[in-house]
Chains A and B, each alone.
Chain A
Amino acid sequence: MNTYIQFAAIKFRNNMAYRFEYLMGILNTVLNFLVYWCIYKALYGGADEIDGITFSMVTTNFIISLGLTNAFSKNEMFLHDKIKQGTIANELLKPVNFKFRMLFEDLGDGFFKVIFNFIPAVIIALFFTHIEPPAGILSFSLCLISAVLGYIVLWEISFIVQTWAFWLFSIWGIVTIKNVIINIFSGVLLPLWFMPEPVMNIIKFTPLDSIFFTPVQLYLGELQGYEIIFNFSKQLLWIAVLYIIGEFFWSRGIKKLVVQGG
């Protein structure tokens, strides 16, 4: 375990080296939030609430999803680059689990982004906007747990797409398209309360609302008793399903790689 934490720590320290980069990161985060804040302020046009959703709930949705986007930052070309440069062969010889190592490097990046981009950005945002406090200590703890599960869901999706690098010339296009789908349909660009009913009915059968929207709903105390259990089970179910799919592609890919290397 210690080995993997070291991978995360190295990534974290690497980020520390680029001080100007992280100032830019804060500015980027604030501006990204500001655009959507202005848009929704204009959309609300002074109204207190639309369909029972207040403007400060929308603001909170954007802040939380932006925070999670920061935390969930990952190097999605990692496996691709290792395969294309051929260094994957050496990586596999190392006595570490390759997948875990990828995960922990991403965690290191994520921790860095949350501490140095997201938290300062929230502090700046608080000067011009009102953010809802969590509905309670229990809601907040549940939100954190489901955010971790959401992270794993998102990471597994990313891992599956990355393994396609074993077969494809470049996965940049597919990674980008995957991120567009996630950004639109999981609540980063549009709070899912405003998603049209027919689209939402489809989203319910995908892992998309398990990533950002479940933590947001828990934070705001929108889910009660049975719903909480249902949403957590859904997240766990998707983690299991996506894990199996990921392992399937990974083992096939590795086999193919061995053949090529021979």
Chain B
Amino acid sequence: MKDIFSLFFAYAKSGLKTRFQYKLDSVVATLAVFLREAAGIIAMYFALLKFDTINNWNINELMFLFSLIFITYGIFIVFFMALRDFSDWIKHGDIDRVMLRPRGILTQLVLCGADWLAALGHGTLGIVLFILSANNVGVEWNAETILYYIVSIASGVLIQGAVFLFFSAISIYFIETQSLKEIMYWNLRKFAGYPISIYNKFIQSLLIFVVPFAFVNYFPAQFLLRKPDMAAYPEWFMYISPFVGIILYALAYLFWKFSMRFYKSTGN
């Protein structure tokens, strides 16, 4: 265990050093990621000055909902960047190098690299949105709600990790999975920031059952905020995010383990 920590810190140190070699450029690039991701919520802020609420969600509640997506992604990308870019690793034959080292493959992948730029950009945005909204959404922050919130964040990270572990396993067979990721993750993520009750049944089902973003932010936020549109979903959906995360990750892990047996190097 101690070994794993020191490995993580060694990787993190070298990663940060490379990334922040050019200081001014890194600051501008981090700010750019922050603003690019904030654009949608800034536009919503202006829109809600006119419309007040969207399906009874006001701007603070909406920022709270968004904050969960960004905080979980910020943490997710520290651990799972290698899985996000796994098809590139296969294409360039980098996996062979990893396989030769005296640690588990997945352990190395999870620890090895963080997209610090994305982590800072998304993570900071999430924290800013949380700070702006947390005291204005009628949530009483006590031991129970704080614990629920922390567990929800962990579940959200795990769910997204599981999704990318699935993608990585698929890229063992198909190598190029950029488009799959584009549709199933990035496009659905655009929908996931907003209350899912504004969408039709098809998009809602995708967000609940296929790529369960709803358990990353919507249902956890509902537990804390109790908006009327929750009536359309079973009550227990608000309690199962951790199980969704653990089960999905376990399934993804088994599939990945199974798929790695078929791994063929693409050569040099």
- List chain A residues, Cβ under 8 A from B199: 38
Contact B36 A176 (CB under 8 A): yes
Residue from the list A28, A174, A190 in contact with B187, Cβ < 8 A:
A28
- Distance (whole angstroms) from the CB of B46 to the closest CB of chain A: 5
Q: Please report which residues of chain B, range 186-208, place their CB below 8 angstroms from some CB of chain A when the two chains form the complex.
A: 187, 190-191, 194-195, 198-200, 203
- List chain A residues, Cβ under 8 A from B39: 180, 183-184, 189
Interface size on A, residues (CB 8 A): 35
- When C-beta atoms are compared, the residue in chain B nearest to A30 turns out to be B187
In this assembly, does A100 line the interface, its C-beta being within 8 Å of a C-beta of chain B?
no
Q: How many B residues are at the interface, by size bracket?
A: 35 or more
Contact A39 B29 (CB under 8 A): no
In this assembly, does B182 line the interface, its C-beta being within 8 Å of a C-beta of chain A?
yes
The interface-forming segment of B47-55, B159-167, B244-252 is: B47-55
Q: Please report which residues of chain A, range 192-238, place their CB below 8 angstroms from some CB of chain B when the two chains form the complex.
A: 194-196, 199
The interface-forming segment of A63-71, A83-91, A165-173 is: A165-173
Bound complex: CA A135 to CA B38 (Å): 35
- List chain B residues, Cβ under 8 A from A169: 22, 24-25
With A31-B190, A38-B199, A39-B198 as contacts: A172 and B47 at CB distance below 8 Å: no
Chain B interface secondary structure, helix, strand, loop or mixed? helix
Residue from the list A20, A28, A190 in contact with B47, Cβ < 8 A:
A190
Bound complex: CA A245 to CA B144 (Å): 58
- Distance (whole angstroms) from the CB of A164 to the closest CB of chain B: 11
With A173-B28, A189-B43 as contacts: A43 and B179 at CB distance below 8 Å: no
- List chain B residues, Cβ under 8 A from A74: none
Contact A173 B31 (CB under 8 A): yes
- When C-beta atoms are compared, the residue in chain A nearest to B29 turns out to be A173
In this assembly, does B150 line the interface, its C-beta being within 8 Å of a C-beta of chain A?
no
In this assembly, does A41 line the interface, its C-beta being within 8 Å of a C-beta of chain B?
yes
- When C-beta atoms are compared, the residue in chain A nearest to B200 turns out to be A38
Contact B35 A176 (CB under 8 A): yes
- When C-beta atoms are compared, the residue in chain A nearest to B193 turns out to be A35
Q: A34-B203, A170-B22, A190-B46 are in contact. List 5 more A-B contacts (CB 8 A).
A: A177-B31, A180-B39, A183-B39, A189-B40, A196-B49
Chain A positions within 8 Å of B, measured between CB atoms, are: 20, 24, 27-28, 31-32, 34-35, 38-39, 41-45, 50-51, 168-170, 172-174, 176-177, 179-180, 183-184, 189-190, 194-196, 199
* Cβ contacts A to B, 6 pairs, < 8 Å: A24-B182, A38-B191, A38-B200, A173-B30, A190-B43, A199-B46
